[in-house]
Amino acid sequence: MPTGQRYSLREQQTREKAYDKGLRAVERQARKVSRFPAERIGVQCRIIELFAQFSAVALDLSPEAVKLLENDFLPIGVSLAQWARRFDSSLTRADILQACRNAWTACGLQPLLGERPGLTPAILAYSLLYPYSDNYLDCTGISNAAKIRFNERFRERLLGEEYAARDQREMAIWALVKLIEGQYPRISYPQIFDCLLAIHRAQDESLAQQRNLSRHDQVSLLQMSCAKGGASVLADACLVRGRLSEEESKFSFEWGILLQLGDDLQDVREDLLNDSMTLFSYAVASGKPLDGLLSQLLNFCEQVTIGMNNLTNGSELLKGLLRMSWRSLILGAIADSYEYFSASFLAEAEQYSPFRFEFLRKRKKRLEARQGLYAVLFDAVLESGTESNAELGMELPAVFADPA
């Protein structure tokens, strides 16, 4: 079961009202977005103001915590999104948001490792690799043979080979790896490229698992998620500072496992439909409720928290926000996958959520139904600021730069 603050029904309803008030205000902003770029400049500021009002009531965030999110995390997301659109205008909003999630993880690590938060060429490049590589390998419409060929060439590029790109996907990946090499030369920072190769191996093992669906078992599925998730955030940490202590490496790897398992839980329904096996979809397919696995995951969350608290860098404010984000990830996934849990487990877990589970499900459907409205707002926010190449100390590859 979760630990920490419990919420009464009245407290949950108060936070839900604040959530809906903030959501309506954001939607009003989206409907008012002007066609003229000069009139869009204030959009980002108004959205930030609304976020602060929402956070203070719905999420119980202090003014200092809201300021940290406003000054560090939100601008990093906007900056990455602007760079992503300039790098490749064909990237979708979902692609960019996926890359932002990784960038926020890396920038959350920066203060914990004694560095100032901010987007760097290596973090930008690594975050953008996900839409080009992970999503390709996860696509059910692409043959395993094509995925294997892609992965073999990707591995050679990570090893330092510089073959001519065969298509736009390879062109993008080659360019992104080059950005990482530019900030961290291979000879001086071998641990970074060892981490990138470790993620690649985990992807290879995932493909092998897809080819041998009859060989699934809980141990191998857990190992696969641990390898992929752990190596991913370990690479984030390496890209923050280049070299890590044993304690920093252990924490980063465990954080990655936690995020990967949280993602697997969020995707359990989709994975079942696609016959894609993870620890959670395997348990459901075997007719078992997820109560036991979630209790273990929540216990592991506490272990990761202890590892974070043992790090000497990073403020208590930041660590508190990270703990809240982990709990929100897990509780939101439980709410969304409610049919795979016992009623008693759900009733107990819901008390630790600032929102009722049914409320979360309904608002998720509402957001999904209004994707067009939020796409307008997303584009407006991206246009509300500018970024120069000099600020990150890099140039965009000419093949992807805007010809205008």
- One-character DSSP codes across 234-297: HHHHHHHHS---HHHHHHHHHHHHHHHHHHHHHTHHHHHHTT---HHHHHHHTT--SHHHHHHH
Write the secondary structure of 299-314 as one string of H (helix), E (strand) and C (coil): HHHHHHHHHHHCCCCC
Of 331, 207, 203, the C-alpha closest to 262 is 331
Distance CA 43, CA 212 (A): 50
Q: What are phi and psi of 221, to 5 degrees?
A: -65, -40
Q: Do residues 214 and 160 make contact, with C-beta atoms less than 8 angstroms apart? A: no
Distance CA 234, CA 248 (A): 9
Q: What is the pTM of this model?
A: 0.88
Distance CA 181, CA 305 (A): 32
CA distance to 99, 122, 126, 161, 188, per residue, from 182 (Å): 20, 8, 13, 15, 12
**Domain spanning 61-238+247-353, CATH class:** mainly alpha
Distance CA 153, CA 49 (A): 46
Per-residue pLDDT of the chain (404 residues; tens, 9 = 90+): 666 789 999 999 999 998 898 888 888 877 877 666 666 666 767 777 777 777 777 778 888 888 888 888 888 888 898 899 889 988 888 899 889 999 999 999 999 999 999 999 999 999 999 889 888 887 778 888 888 888 899 999 999 998 898 888 999 999 999 999 999 999 999 989 999 999 888 877 776 655 555 556 888 889 888 998 999 999 999 999 888 999 999 999 999 999 999 999 999 999 898 888 889 999 999 999 999 999 999 999 999 999 999 999 999 999 999 999 999 999 999 999 999 999 999 999 999 999 999 999 999 898 888 877 777 777 777 766 555 444 555 555 544 544 33
